[in-house]
Structure 1
Amino acid sequence: MEEKTVRDSSPFEFHLVHLDLKGAAPKVSYLAEIFRLFHVLGANGILLEYEDMFPYSEELKPLQANDAYSPSEIKEILNLAKLHGLEVIPLVQTFGHMEFVLKHKEFCHLREVAMFPNTVNPHREESLRLVSKMIEQVIALHGDLQWFHIGCDEVYYLGEGEESKQWLQQEENTIEKLCLAHMKAVANYVVSAHPTVKPVVWDDMLRGISEETLTASGIAQLAELMIWDYTPDFAVSSKATLIQKYQRCSFPKLWFASAFKGATGVNQSLTLIGHHLRNHQQWMKVAESSPPGIIRGIALTGWQRYDHFSVLCELLPVGIPSLAVCLQTLKNGGYSEKVKEDVEKFLGISSLEIDTFMSDISGTFPGSEILSLVTQIAFYLKPSVDELLENNRYVTGWFSPYHRKRMKIHPIMIHHFQPDALRLLTKWTAVNEDLQTAMEKVFYMSATEEWMEENVQPSLQRLQGTVDDLDRAIQALS
């Protein structure tokens, strides 16, 4: 196994790249290419958020997506990670963000609020049995683990279920205690069943809890916290205060979580590098102001959906330049012209733009063709179709929806916009086919279809519909 510690000028021992598999999960063949690049750029770990891509079995089989990895593919992913010196930390949600479990009829009775599949009911023993089985199946395929991330962020609607309402009526019972009790039960399960594995939890549900309650819960003896903030301008002093609080509550080690993509808009298709670079620069300042030895590492999150039911945001290949800039900035202890030049060299990009979206981008890194084509689509497809159908006076004046419905057109007007419409349709159909081919090398068909339906088809269908209506109107003339 290669040395995992990031030396150079980084304040962190671990740089984890987060792979969010709840949308557009990459094929193993693509991970084989990209893990090598992660290592070269300065990563030494993967935070692997499986969601429904894990091959759950027996009574958990319904949790599997149709495209879920097989057990042998999981083994291959773990071997590839090891080959490239990447420590793997699995992430399995066990409290909030449980939609991928609680949407199924087999498990919907375990919802905190009957209507909503977000949060598991912490009062039921069956809830703990369910998440314990999930953890057990994941650990069984992983073998030698040091950490296991049990999620527990954004536990929405906690305390709003019928059982919680009754429980909260008893004196001294609070939502904070309810939250801590479930977290502790899950962490306790991991530690008891696997003494060499340390649970990690997101910190957001604990930020507002008093030091007294947090200390009394004993959670600090069981789990390490991962403090997350994806904004580019958060106050360093507020994080320093939070770290001091967690220290006083006896948490021996803390992790940070930044974002390299997937945190700037629920349906964002391109990644603004500058936003994420500034986020990492803030985290470096926090690390520098922290007591020595308390910060274990940083996870660079790359969200693929905001939750199980939302649309896809930036695809992984689209976020690679941002990931490269952020990893190299961490590794070199700051951003510089040299970092920019090194990233351009590693990715085969001629000129990287930090503070604007690049309208024309090509590279040689795995998946760069997807970035190039997605950029074309984001910059030119919708605007060019809108320009033709909404701003071309011949279309708006002589081939309006009224005309199209009745198949009426002045013959001379055909020559004013039919060539433009056909040229556009030919061009965008070709780009569509090229992107589909490029995406099918990296992603499963379901992800390709979803991204195309969301981002390409609306404009292409508008264009095709106009051309078809024009053909019918021309035929009606003859």
Structure 2
Amino acid sequence: MAAGGLRRRLVHLDLKGAPPRASYLAEVLPLLRALGATGLLLEYEDTFPYAGPLAPLRAPHHYSPGEVRAVLSQAREQGLEVVPLVQAFGHMEFVLKHKEFAHLREVKVFPNALNPHKEESRALVKAMIDQVMALHEDLKWFHIGCDEVGLLLSQELFSCNDESGVPQLVQPMIWDYTADLDVEDKVHLIEKYRRCGFSKVWFASAFKGATGVNQSLTLIGHHLKNHLQWLKVAGSSPADVLEGIALTGWQRYDHFSVLCELLPVAIPSLAVCLQALKNGGYSEKIKENVEKLLGMSNLETDTFMSTSLGTFPGSNVLTLVTQVSFYLTSSVDDLLERNRYVTGWFSPYHRKRNIIHPIIMHHFQPDAVSLLSKWNAVVQDLQAAMEQVFHRCTIEEWMEENVHPSLQKLQQVVDDLDKAIKAQN
């Protein structure tokens, strides 16, 4: 069932946030193939090298045409089928935020959705698709995104009495990222699509980016359950109706939101999910195989902590992000909010007015200096690890969101202590 029903297993790369360097993707593709991926679903968004009137859509860190060709050629070498994804209705913030295209919004204050009634909107989507297709040779599949329009539409997009011929031209993709996915409901939905004339459907699961808008670590257990539910749907549906599954890995919930889990952080989750799909389930034997492929001696699925380091590309990013996520804020809060000398004699009130007890500050000054120096070293290591994978703008964004708030608080205390000690001397 797994091999036949879900024979196409596409790994979705959401490039609208933290797009990996092309050199990192080259390292990861052989691993994806070994884990059981058969292809990639590439959502370029603003990282595609759009040209001409579409040039304003490019982010400063967009891939060059040469980099795109290199990734596509490496995917081909690994036997991975590439499916490009271009949004055509919702998820259009990266286009509609620009003044050149803002007049094409369906609702003026809502840059997410395109107005499909305007001829110019259709020309825009066609131009985007043309440029993406021109860089991709021998395409069998193209994903036209019609996602995230629920805020505008109360009625269904498609009804069974449709005579447009659409069911003969496209295959719908059914998305659900929940751990308790309703199997019966999905089976009925597939039957409904068949009655409407669609001969094939795809599933879309999630290996990351679906459990919290600012999530920094991936809870593997949630995503494993999601995939095991999809396997039940596949087992309860006619095998000839299932074309494949896309394992989505959202990098942002939308173009304006913060980053969620980085790709290297979620590779163990992706590995578990791919292996479960490939083998039609998950067992101790499959877990051991995943650990071997990732170079990890112990992979936790029910907590965020994995005790071993791993040898897969970017595994040092996972190790250091885990350290920062678990201990940075808590260790700084322990010192600043639970150390009696700090809360009692070195509060913001005391520091602001320079009312400092000359002896008591020496009780915690060494702890504060040592904690700052420890975290500065960890953050330096993390920065070096991330530079192998990401561009500077991604590193800056992640650090500002996840590191700077706590580190700056700690730095300020150490600076104030230095000032107070100097004044005393």
TM-score (norm 1): 0.87
Deviation of 1:332 after TM superposition, in Å, equals: 1.1
1:97 aligned partner: 91
Q: State whether residues 10 and 331 of structure 1, in contact with CA within 8 Å, keep that contact through their aligned partners in structure 2.
A: no
Asked whether 1:40 is paired with 2:49, we answer: no
1:60 aligned partner: 54
Structure 2 residue identity aligned to 1:90:
P
Q: State whether residues 220 and 302 of structure 2, in contact with CA within 8 Å, keep that contact through their aligned partners in structure 1.
A: yes
Structure 1 residue identity aligned to 2:74:
L
Distance across 2 between alignment mates of 1:8 and 1:133 = 38
Q: State whether residues 360 and 376 of structure 1, in contact with CA within 8 Å, keep that contact through their aligned partners in structure 2.
A: no
Q: CA RMSD in A?
A: 1.4
CA 1:11/1:132 → structure 2, altered by over 3 Å: closer, same or farther? same
Structure 1 residue identity aligned to 2:210:
A
Asked whether 1:434 is paired with 2:381, we answer: yes
Distance across 1 between alignment mates of 2:74 and 2:380 = 31
Distance across 2 between alignment mates of 1:110 and 1:211 = 29
1:29-52 Cα shifts (integer Å, max 9, x gaps): 100110000000000100000100
Q: SS in structure 2 opposite 1:224?
A: coil
Asked whether 1:256 is paired with 2:210, we answer: no
1:270 aligned to 217, 222, 225, which one? Answer: 217
Q: State whether residues 36 and 278 of structure 2, in contact with CA within 8 Å, keep that contact through their aligned partners in structure 1.
A: yes
Q: State whether residues 256 and 297 of structure 1, in contact with CA within 8 Å, keep that contact through their aligned partners in structure 2.
A: yes
Deviation of 1:9 after TM superposition, in Å, equals: 4.5
Describe how 1:24-423 pairs up with structure 2 within 5 A: 24-158=18-152, 176=155, 206=157, 210-212=159-161, 215-358=162-305, 360-423=307-370
User: Where do 4+ consecutive residues of structure 1 move more than 6 Å?
Assistant: none
Q: State whether residues 42 and 331 of structure 1, in contact with CA within 8 Å, keep that contact through their aligned partners in structure 2.
A: yes
Distance across 2 between alignment mates of 1:225 and 1:400 = 59
Describe how 1:13-32 pairs up with structure 2 within 5 A: 13-32=7-26
1:230-273 Cα shifts (integer Å, max 9, x gaps): 00001100000000000000001100000000000000000000
Distance across 1 between alignment mates of 2:291 and 2:359 = 51
Q: State whether residues 15 and 299 of structure 1, in contact with CA within 8 Å, keep that contact through their aligned partners in structure 2.
A: yes
Distance across 2 between alignment mates of 1:272 and 1:117 = 31
1:12 aligned partner: 6
1:96-121 Cα shifts (integer Å, max 9, x gaps): 11000000011111111111111111
1:164 aligned partner: none
Distance across 2 between alignment mates of 1:217 and 1:386 = 61
Distance across 2 between alignment mates of 1:419 and 1:475 = 15
Q: State whether residues 407 and 476 of structure 1, in contact with CA within 8 Å, keep that contact through their aligned partners in structure 2.
A: no
CA 1:221/1:11 → structure 2, altered by over 3 Å: closer, same or farther? closer
Distance across 1 between alignment mates of 2:36 and 2:112 = 35
Deviation of 1:158 after TM superposition, in Å, equals: 3.2
| Unpaired stretches in structure 2, ≥5 consecutive residues | none
Structure 1 residue identity aligned to 2:111:
P
Q: State whether residues 20 and 49 of structure 1, in contact with CA within 8 Å, keep that contact through their aligned partners in structure 2.
A: yes
2:413 aligned partner: 466
Deviation of 1:217 after TM superposition, in Å, equals: 4.3
Q: State whether residues 359 and 379 of structure 1, in contact with CA within 8 Å, keep that contact through their aligned partners in structure 2.
A: no
Q: SS in structure 1 opposite 2:246?
A: strand
Q: How many positions carry a matched residue from both structures?
A: 425
Q: SS in structure 1 opposite 2:113?
A: coil
Deviation of 1:10 after TM superposition, in Å, equals: 6.0
Deviation of 1:359 after TM superposition, in Å, equals: 5.7
Q: State whether residues 112 and 157 of structure 1, in contact with CA within 8 Å, keep that contact through their aligned partners in structure 2.
A: no
Deviation of 1:365 after TM superposition, in Å, equals: 0.3
Give the share of equivalent positions with the same residue, in percent. 68
Distance across 2 between alignment mates of 1:338 and 1:370 = 27
Distance across 1 between alignment mates of 2:52 and 2:104 = 18
Distance across 2 between alignment mates of 1:219 and 1:117 = 27
Q: SS in structure 2 opposite 1:112?
A: strand
Distance across 2 between alignment mates of 1:154 and 1:219 = 20
Distance across 2 between alignment mates of 1:157 and 1:38 = 35
More displaced 10-residue stretch of structure 1: 223-232 or 149-158: 149-158
Q: SS in structure 2 opposite 1:438?
A: helix
Q: SS in structure 1 opposite 2:13?
A: strand
Distance across 2 between alignment mates of 1:136 and 1:358 = 44
1:370-405 Cα shifts (integer Å, max 9, x gaps): 000000001111100011000000100000010110
CA 1:55/1:257 → structure 2, altered by over 3 Å: closer, same or farther? same
Deviation of 1:407 after TM superposition, in Å, equals: 2.2
Structure 1 residue identity aligned to 2:44:
Y
Deviation of 1:219 after TM superposition, in Å, equals: 2.3
Q: State whether residues 369 and 438 of structure 1, in contact with CA within 8 Å, keep that contact through their aligned partners in structure 2.
A: yes
Structure 2 residue identity aligned to 1:112:
E
Which one scores higher on RCO, CA 8 angstroms, separation ≥ 6? 2
Deviation of 1:156 after TM superposition, in Å, equals: 4.6
